[in-house]
Structure 1
Amino acid sequence: MTTVKQHPVLQSRAPQAFSSLLDSFFNDAVSTRRVQGFTPAVDLWETDKSYELEMALPGLKKENIQVEFEENVLRISGERTFNKESKEQKFHRVENLYGKFSRAFQLPEHVDATAIDAQFENGVLHISVPKVEEKVVKHQISVK
């Protein structure tokens, strides 16, 4: 006869029936997704005059988004809160991600930080970072 040693903590978590296994799965999945945070999708491209960025943030308000620029790093952060749960509702599936997010992008030195424009419309954050002419640090001068 083979004996199986069980850990006391794990033994108390063992479900008694298949239905309780499903219940614990759904409850654990819903509660962890709400607090773990997420990484929003970003499109980043360059034009002749600027660097452009679009970030998908559905369900957020512009008051919940912070945009900062420091030492050539553009940092976007915020939080999407889960506030739809009540005692009358029992969620079985929550696929939207909730929690805090933060993204940072290193930009070249030749940008105009004072003219950065951020607009939020229909769940999409659009940021435009204008370029400035690069300063000439070293230039070879031909002798005539």
Structure 2
Amino acid sequence: MTTVKQQPVLQGRAPQTFSSLLDTFFQDTVNNRRVQGFTPAVDLWETEKSYEVELALPGLKKENINVEFEEGVLRISGERPFNKENQGQKFLRVENLYGKFRRAFQLPDHVDATAIEAQFENGILRISVPKVEEKVVKHQISVK
């Protein structure tokens, strides 16, 4: 059996000294970077009839998600609010990311913008962008 070395999630952000470790611990609070925003994971693939997009948005409600298509660009944005009531609580660790997000994808010209469908279920946003026949820009006509 071969073992594979796992790369740390925070690679490149590891503190170099014990002092910087303590600084990171005390500065990594809810008020610092955890509520500034996040970038959701995306899977994007092409089928014969469409382009498919899936975003992982756990903990969001569909009311907090906006999907729009303009000038060939599919834009997905929203917000995961931090709703933990602070009733004398002192958070020791917050690993979930909160705040606003925005993703944009340039799509080819041959898509049917009026038939784009988006469905949100179990924290996964699925968007299907149907293709249309490619526009003929140049076509050689044979002379008979």
Paired amino acid for 1:108: P
In structure 1, the residue matched to 2:31 is: 31
Equivalent runs, 1:1-144 vs 2, <5 Å: 25-26=25-26, 28-144=28-144
Q: Percent identity?
A: 84
Greater helix percent: which structure? Answer: 1
Paired amino acid for 1:116: I
Cα distance in 1 for residues equivalent to 2:28 and 2:135:
55
Q: Indicate the structure (1 or 2) with the bigger Cα radius of gyration.
A: 1
After superposition, give the CA deviation of every residue in 1:69-120 in whole Å (9 maximum; x if it has no partner).
0000000000001111312321111111100000000000000000000000
TM-score normalized by the length of structure 2: 0.79
In structure 1, the residue matched to 2:10 is: none
TM-score normalized by the length of structure 1: 0.79
Aligned residues: 125
Q: Does the 8 Å contact 1:44/1:52 carry over to 2?
A: yes
RMSD: 2.1
Q: Which runs of 4+ in 1 moved over 2 A?
A: 21-30
- In the TM superposition, residue 28 of structure 1 has moved relative to its aligned partner by 4.3
Q: Does the 8 Å contact 2:66/2:76 carry over to 1?
A: yes
Cα distance in 2 for residues equivalent to 1:84 and 1:78:
19
Q: Does the 8 Å contact 2:112/2:130 carry over to 1?
A: yes
Cα distance in 1 for residues equivalent to 2:23 and 2:88:
17
Q: Does the 8 Å contact 2:69/2:113 carry over to 1?
A: yes
Paired amino acid for 1:68: E
Cα distance in 2 for residues equivalent to 1:74 and 1:26:
38
Runs of at least 5 residues in structure 2 that lack an aligned partner in the other structure:
1-20
Cα distance in 2 for residues equivalent to 1:27 and 1:87:
21
Q: Does the 8 Å contact 1:34/1:82 carry over to 2?
A: no
Paired amino acid for 1:86: N
After superposition, give the CA deviation of every residue in 1:25-55 in whole Å (9 maximum; x if it has no partner).
3464332133210100000000000000000
| SS of equivalent to 1:25 | helix
Q: Does the 8 Å contact 1:26/1:92 carry over to 2?
A: no
Cα distance in 2 for residues equivalent to 1:136 and 1:43:
30
Q: Does the 8 Å contact 2:28/2:34 carry over to 1?
A: no
Cα distance in 2 for residues equivalent to 1:24 and 1:117:
42
